[in-house]
Amino acid sequence: MTQDKARKKAIRARVAVTGESYTRARRKIAGFPGKTPQPRRVAVFGAGYVGLVAGACFAELGHRVVLCDIQPDRIRLLQAGEVPIFEPGLGDLLAGNKERLSFTLEAQEAVRDAEVVYVCVDTPPTASGDADLSHLWAVIDALKEVRSDHLAALVMKSTVPVGTGERVRAVLHDAGLAHVGYAANPEFTAEGRAVSTFLHPDRVVIGAADDRTARLVTALHEGVDGPVEVMDIPSAEMVKLASNALLATKITFINEIATVCEATGADVETVAKGIGMDPRLGPHFLKAGLGYGGSCFPKDSRALRAMASNNGHPFQLLSAVIEVNELQPRRAIQRLKNELGTLKGRRICLLGMTFKAGTDDMREAPSTVVASRLLAEGADVHCWDPLARPAEVEPWTSTTRHANPAEAMAGADAVIVVTEWPQLNDVDWAAARVTMRNPLIFDGRNLLDPKRMRDTGFTYMSVGRP
């Protein structure tokens, strides 16, 4: 038995004997017991990527958690022991802490005995770009109805405009809930690594108006391996929006550099490596491709721009970032047209559909823009992705889904690598070339080796590489 397997066996044995969470047992066996948190009764509203991970991790830390969601199918799956989303490690946490976890559709049931309520609901953009806070206010209405004496704090993990906390506090005060503290505890979820980034974060940001609430929320995170930064509520709200806007800007910047590299013969991969060696800049989010997607960067960038405009400041830099990102996947279509002449009647294969590898999330995925544009040009679109679960809406209802990359590429006039799935490095590209009608690849994630692909006989294009 390897040392790692022996360690895991010892941890599981301790969990079985003591009833401790896996994380607590692991820390004690490793000789770093840390502080033992006082178990709290926590209600989490929203059982999506943020709320479900937060709830499972709080249970792992020893708290008793009730997760509430308005989607019956999601709650039924969770009550049956199934995981409605793909996130590495999440299933193990839910199974290992089932005695501390429960799930409900009823807001009042969730709140009734809760000491702390976490709000992890969606705040999607409205037509104006502002955040839609209707789900948030529905949670507040539930609190007003229950009026629990147990409730000590309401914690906002959803991404909200700066100033939301003050509005919520005023509503609670007017409803006779002035004793309920309020904190902003923004999420920095990295899908595909959400469990790890919750339990081992680079920072935990807590915005609170009073010391009692700040101490309570800090204590909830005892056992989390990361620094806690306490600040005022508006600053904590801004940290989330500003962080995502800056990361989106880095992605957009390197995509603009990639376009210049294509015109000059420079290699954006080499350029990015050289840039990233500067400790002031760092190597992260300097990967050229089809642009950013997902639930956070597009929404939060628009929300910050809208909030700035509402306060009389036209955020021109952020407007440019958003515009460039919206154009990025469309450039791939234009480059295919330059090679093929027309896309009408052409069979185009999309390898990857999710907004990034390691998740099943299709929200704001560049693949949606790519597929839509191809269909508008008259192309026959075929797709492969190992995890994607797109809604039964256009453009996906007009495309053909395949079980593996080889099947999807057969007969294709061109292939677009949309998502950086590592499985694509193991494809038999020589065999794929034989089955394709035209051996053309546009590598929208710079995943494949250009020399290897050209040596295999492909016409190979990528983003910002000669």
The helix (H) or strand (E) run that includes residue 230 is strand 228-231
* Residues annotated as catalytic (active site), given as ranges: 296
| Orientation angle between helical segments 233-264 and 268-276, nearest 10 degrees | 140
- Contact in structure between 459 and 339 (CB atoms under 8 Å): yes
For the CA atoms of 344, 350, 353, 359, what is the dihedral angle to 10 degrees?
Answer: -170
* Residue-wise burial string across 89-120, b where 16 or more C-beta atoms lie within 10 A, e elsewhere: bbbebbebbeebbbbbeebebbbeebbbbbbb
Of 343, 296, 437, nearest to 304 by C-alpha is: 296
**Cβ pair 289, 445 in contact under 8 A:** yes
CB 356 within 8 A of CB 420: yes
Question: Which parts of 312-358 are beta strand (E)?
Answer: 347-351
Three-state DSSP at 387 gives coil
CA dist 200 and 208 (Å) reads 22
DSSP per residue over 116-184, as a string? EEEE-----B-TTS-B--HHHHHHHHHHHHH--SS--EEEE-S---TTHHHHHHHHHHHTT-TTSEEEE
Judge if the upstream peptide bond of residue 395 is cis by omega within 30 degrees of 0.
Answer: yes
Tokens read off for 111: 């709140």
> CA 345 → CA 405, 412, 413, distances in Å?
21, 11, 10
| 414-417 β-sheet, strand order | 400-402, 380-384, 347-351, 414-417, 440-443, 459-462
Q: Compute the distance between CA of residue 63 and CA of residue 454 in angstroms, rounded to an integer.
A: 55
